[in-house]
């Protein structure tokens, strides 16, 4: 009987240590930083004093907006303030004397969701979305879905990064979310 107690003690103590060493989740995908413009975003450009140029423009596959008078202006990877500075510089180069330009996001590029959801595909991004909100947008979980985590694929710089995340993880425009199936 004494050996049985000792054996149980040897088994329970290491398991209790595992429960105490829980670490916070770490993610490979970044969750902070200023929003960088990319293909598919629609921006509203306001040129003060010129209503003809103040319109919405879609960022094309080359990462540029086709702006009247100056042609394509590269904005991929830039913040809205940096994009305004680029357009200002292009307009100031012989077209408008001392232009004042503001750029804001009119419509974000879509996000994508696939896997164990009712309706996978491409959906409109709304600022501040989480994985849970994206799943709701896609009609909810399928019957076989793992309802505790998801996998996000996100472009960071020139590479695609993948990370397993929980359902309250923030998503960004352009993310691809995969909901895995659970295995009994």
**Token reading at 171:** 């998503």
In sequence order, the β-bridge partners of residue 43 are: 57, 105
Alpha helix (H) residue ranges in the chain: 2-20, 80-92, 131-137
Whole-number percent of the chain with pLDDT over 70: 82
In angstroms, the CA 13 to CA 181 distance is 33
42-107: which CATH topology? wza like fold (3.30.1950)
CATH 3.30.1950.10 positions along the chain are 42-107
**Token reading at 51:** 């209503």
pLDDT tens digit sequence for 72-108: 999 999 999 999 999 999 999 888 889 999 999 999 9
Q: In degrees rounded to 5, what are phi and psi of residue 114?
A: -145, 170
**Tokens 């969750």, residue?**
31
Asked which of 16-30, 107-121, 154-168 is least confident by mean pLDDT, the reply is 16-30
Q: Global pTM?
A: 0.73
pLDDT tens digit sequence for 104-130: 999 999 999 999 999 999 999 998 899
What CATH superfamily is the domain 111-179?
Answer: Outer membrane lipoprotein wza domain like (3.10.560.10)
CATH 3.10.560.10 positions along the chain are 111-179
Q: In degrees rounded to 5, what are phi and psi of residue 89?
A: -65, -40
């Amino acid at each position: 009987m004494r050996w049985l107690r000792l054996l149980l003690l040897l088994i329970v103590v290491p398991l209790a240590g595992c429960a105490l060493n829980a670490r916070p989740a770490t993610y490979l995908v970044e969750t902070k930083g200023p929003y960088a413009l990319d293909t598919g975003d629609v921006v509203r450009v306001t040129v003060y004093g010129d209503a003809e140029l103040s319109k919405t423009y879609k960022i094309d596959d080359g990462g540029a907006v086709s702006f009247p008078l100056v042609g394509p202006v590269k904005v991929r990877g830039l913040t809205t303030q940096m994009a305004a500075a680029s357009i200002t510089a292009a307009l100031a180069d012989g077209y408008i004397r001392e232009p004042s330009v503001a750029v804001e996001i009119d419509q974000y590029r879509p996000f994508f969701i696939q896997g164990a959801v009712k309706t996978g595909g491409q959906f409109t991004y709304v600022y501040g979305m989480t994985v849970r909100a994206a799943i709701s947008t896609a009609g909810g979980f399928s019957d076989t879905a793992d309802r505790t985590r998801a996998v996000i694929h996100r472009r960071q710089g020139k590479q695609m990064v993948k990370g397993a995340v929980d359902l309250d993880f923030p998503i960004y425009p352009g993310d691809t979310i995969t909901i895995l199936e659970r295995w009994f």
